[in-house]
Chains A and B, each alone.
Chain A
């Protein structure tokens, strides 16, 4: 459908010409939806995000996005010894819309505080970023994405290894963003989580399936996606994937 905020068609590519990591990825996402990206480690989830950000060295196919997407990477990639507090990190979301010679706008500073409040970290604004827990840091990065105010938000395993309080808060923010008619694309290992959302993309180097969870999340599809990493629970109808991450 034209007019959809996210259109991906025949996307393929990799980090060097002739060495494809992704093949045959095609999906269309509507406003106000949350879409899970499932797949094993090395299956291309992060590569997909890089391609959607036009950051993949060798890619072909079509990627059409409304506006510049916000990207929430995994927090274990950020520098924890950097001299910034939580509010400083959130304010980075306003950098791209501020010319280099101008101070950050008052409105942006206020909005940053509001974003921290939305993720439940209003009183952590002045705390050093590296001193926060993994779940708190993940929430700060999400607050940064909120400040960017993008129609499309890409999140790379935001709930991985995160404490229960943070996870609940993050879930609530996702629902708010969906209500605001934004598009969320969330890489995750949590198949149960994916069942509660609107769409699922299964990726294992190539796209195995795309569609509503009820249709896509069958044992057969999951087996194609995860291969040996799949664990089938008693009853044979539900399966979980093994999460290799730790924060």
Chain B
């Protein structure tokens, strides 16, 4: 039994993959709790899907993926902000158009050259191809997100729990809503190497959703979310090794499975407030 758990991680390749998921989980878990509390799930999905052109351009140009990710996220955020502002269409239509167009652009750029970009890795991650340099990048970004969330904890809580009174209690809500979106962008950039831009949202939303189902108070929810994200990473890698299936997808599916399990925990908490 112990062999089954430890054998996969005897090689350097899997050790680096494990380090990557652990590093990224520490940021994605708590961030996801905040994303859900701020009701920004759609933003999380939109940004990750629409950043594809940036990733592809970096891959084709041989530039660092980090640069492509940052560029892609910025372009995505701008396009989504512009499209979402149009009142004539309303709702999610403008945003859906922007995401579809950008995603399609990424695919066109990736598939049309004579030597196509490795689109599968960009979409679904390259967890087993992580290098030492990638780990350093991820550690800096994810570590930054985790520290920022810890320092901003009270202001984030005030701004979303009681927007009207937040200024009198020491927080200006508009600023912190923006700060959360910025941290979401940074965390997406950190996690996209391992999970790919289509699956990264699983590690952001699923552990947080599971934690909020189970934990009655915010600090516990944040800690539990980090733990569940880490667990999803380990389980996913174990499954990937033993059953020879894609690593990033296994981690993503493990996270979603943990969320599904959390639905069976009896609810001591109030029903989720579904009003917008």
List A residues at the B interface (Cβ < 8 Å).
53, 55, 68-74, 77-85, 88-89, 92-93, 95-96, 98, 100-101, 128, 130-131, 141, 144, 148, 154
Q: In this complex, what residue of A is CB-closest to B39?
A: A79
Of the candidates A78, A100, A130, the one whose C-beta lies within 8 Å of that of B270 is A130
On whether the beta carbons of A79 and B170 are closer than 8 Å, the reply is no
Q: Provide 14 A-B residue pairs closer than 8 Å at the C-beta atoms, listed in order of the A residue.
A: A55-B167, A71-B165, A73-B162, A77-B162, A77-B164, A80-B270, A81-B269, A81-B273, A82-B160, A82-B218, A83-B212, A83-B218, A98-B154, A144-B169
On whether the beta carbons of A100 and B269 are closer than 8 Å, the reply is no
Contacts of B155 in A (CB 8 A): 95, 100
List B residues at the A interface (Cβ < 8 Å).
37, 151-155, 157-158, 160-165, 167-171, 212, 215-218, 220-221, 269-273
Number of A-B contacts (CB under 8 A): 86
Quick one: which of B170, B220, B269 has the most chain A CB within 10 A? B170
Known: A83-B212, A84-B161, A92-B158. A68 touches B168 (CB 8 A): yes
On whether the beta carbons of B270 and A70 are closer than 8 Å, the reply is no
Quick one: which of B164, B168, B215, B217 has the most chain A CB within 10 A? B168
Of the candidates B151, B216, B220, B271, the one whose C-beta lies within 8 Å of that of A100 is B151
Contacts of B221 in A (CB 8 A): 83
Contacts of B151 in A (CB 8 A): 100-101
Contacts of A68 in B (CB 8 A): 168
Of the candidates B165, B171, B212, B220, the one whose C-beta lies within 8 Å of that of A72 is B165
Q: In this complex, what residue of B is CB-closest to A78?
A: B162
On whether the beta carbons of A84 and B218 are closer than 8 Å, the reply is yes
How far in angstroms is the closest Cβ of chain B from A146? 13
